[in-house]
Chain A
């Protein structure tokens, strides 16, 4: 490991020692942060996986139901029935901090079951009603999935960045500082010995 290009003086030695102490402390803190983030990540990843499987299964059920509804209704009447916009759903979006990473927090607003269908009952078959209800019921889960999945990706990025920092400190910065400190010490000792020898000779 290359040592830093500094003058071997007591001043520099003192400065470098202070820097080394800071680097070691920072390394420890970052390592702890990394450990905790990984722990949180594993919890979130399990949760996310379970949720995704559940949502995908229910969503394909709803979509299959909808396909049935489409197939029993003429295309044009289905188009007109669904052309009207339904009462829009919206969600309360805020952020939450997980280990210093801002992750989304989503909460659905209003009562979903109170919503009516966007078409009259005479326009579409009951299969369509059923599929719309299915998908509406699925919304809280869908939004929860959106939230956890985004958190997962944000946390993964942060863990990666943090890991790089820890490694830079552990394998570059700290060895470099240690080596330079050792070099300066040797040099100073050498100077001291040289001075003593010189004094002895003079005497």
Chain B
């Protein structure tokens, strides 16, 4: 099954994705992003969302973790990364394993 790709985000960065063939939806704030996301979730299989908005919608995004699709991926915006992606990895790791195995490796 073929899936479409979308990006939801603020700022100029999403224009670049649009030029590359991704459907772009500008969202100035979290409220608008939530509404866009709800509509896009049915139609698009992969949705990129800028980290600032993803952080704001953290709990709402958890709802999509029940099924394989849609995949929602936080990516850094044109303002630079906020480390939210790393935070998510860390969270998942701590929930599943109880320890952060990556930071331990860094110390050794």
Binding site for B on A (CB under 8 A): 38, 41-42, 45-46, 48-49, 52, 55-56, 59-60, 62-64, 66-67, 70, 78, 82, 85-95, 102-104, 106, 109, 115, 117-119, 128, 131-132, 135-136, 139, 142-143, 145-147, 149-150, 152-157, 159-160
Contacts and interface: CB of A to CB of B under 8 A. Distances in A.
Band of interface residues on B:
35 or more
Contacts of B101: 42, 45
A49 B21 contact: no
B99 to A, nearest CB: 11
Given A42-B101, A60-B76, A93-B1, A135 B16 contact: yes
Contact of B96 (A41, A63, A106): A41
Contacts, number: 153
Contact of A90 (B4, B75, B76, B93): B4
Given A42-B97, A56-B85, A87 B68 contact: no
Q: Label chain B's interface by main secondary structure.
A: mixed
What 4 pairs across the A-B complex have the smallest Cβ distances? Answer: A156-B92, A93-B3, A156-B96, A89-B21
A150 B64 CA distance: 10
Interface of B: 1-5, 12-13, 15-23, 45-46, 48, 65, 67-69, 71, 73, 75-78, 80-81, 85-86, 88-89, 92-93, 95-97, 101-102
Given A94-B1, A146-B73, A135 B17 contact: yes
Contacts of B67: 102
Given A90-B5, A155-B96, A131 B16 contact: yes
Nearest to B97: A38
Contacts of A146: 46, 48, 71, 73
Contacts of A119: 19
Contacts of B19: 82, 86, 117-119, 128, 132, 135
A203 to B, nearest CB: 65
B76 A91 contact: no
A142 B48 CA distance: 9
B97 to A, nearest CB: 6
